[in-house]
Amino acid sequence: MEIYELTTEHKMSITIANARTNISLNSNIVFVENDKLYVEPFVYEGAVLNFDSANVSISMIAYEEEKSPYLWQVVHIGKEIRDNVPYHVVTSNLSGVKINRRENFRLYLGIEGRATIMGGRPFDVLVKDISSSGYAVLVDMNTPISVHKNDVMQLEFSDKSFEEDFILNGRVVRMDKTDRYLLYGCRLVAENPVIDRYIANKQLENRVNSARKNKS
């Protein structure tokens, strides 16, 4: 896919990476002109960003609801004012590459969280993985809880690298155990488009980190 094929119906986000950290930011496409994508300015910690530094790389993900996202591994971002309205302008010499379909892709997380069976007390979990249709958590075998199939489990966790907080409700559809943990697989009670964006951004982050390791 080429940038000029994007429309205002597409969701988009960028990941800014340097040698120390990654930052992911979202914006809205306002209009497309030739090979330029005009978007609402990217803001971080209350300030509109400049993209003048040569020490960062910028990637972009764009997708429509219920369709596979496309990744531009390198984009360039400048500023432009049209009719007294400021925009960030995104361009790229590369084509967008389709990445894993989110509904079939399970993203490993390994993030600590809290869960509650409706009406019960919260307990600690490890979020094993997440997909657009559900999630799996691990619970220490010694945790005093009672969970049954078809119970609704509310999961809360945060991903600091993306400044995202999640509260998800899923119905328990799978139960298993290992030597130390109980595993619960849950199907989301309702679709959550934020999860689609999050998975796409995490895939991009993993690609960036992998490329950085290969260079070192």
Per-domain residue ranges of the chain: 3-99, 103-196
Enclosing H/E stretch for 205:
helix 193-215
Note the pLDDT of residue 3.
Answer: 93
Note the pLDDT of residue 137.
Answer: 97
Domains 3-99 and 103-196 share a fold: no
**pTM score:** 0.56
Residue with tokens 């130390």: 180
Q: ∠ CA(67), CA(207), CA(41), 5° rounding? A: 65
Residue with tokens 């997909």: 131
Pick the closest to residue 125 from 161, 86, 166, 75 (CA basis).
Answer: 166
Instruction: Note the residue count of the chain.
Output: 216
Query: Is CATH 2.30.110.10 the right assignment for the domain spanning 3-99?
Result: yes
Pick the closest to residue 160 from 109, 211, 212, 108 (CA basis).
Answer: 109
Tell me the pLDDT of the chain (216 aa) as tens digits.
999 999 999 988 888 876 566 677 888 999 999 999 999 999 888 889 888 876 788 888 888 876 778 888 889 999 999 999 999 999 999 999 887 654 557 888 999 999 999 878 999 999 999 988 899 999 999 999 999 999 999 999 998 877 778 889 899 999 998 889 999 999 988 766 677 778 877 777 777 666 666 665
Q: b vs e for 1-10, b when ≥16 Cβ sit within 10 Å of the residue's Cβ?
A: eebeebeeeb
Q: Which fold does the domain 103-196 belong to in CATH?
A: Thrombin, subunit H (2.40.10)
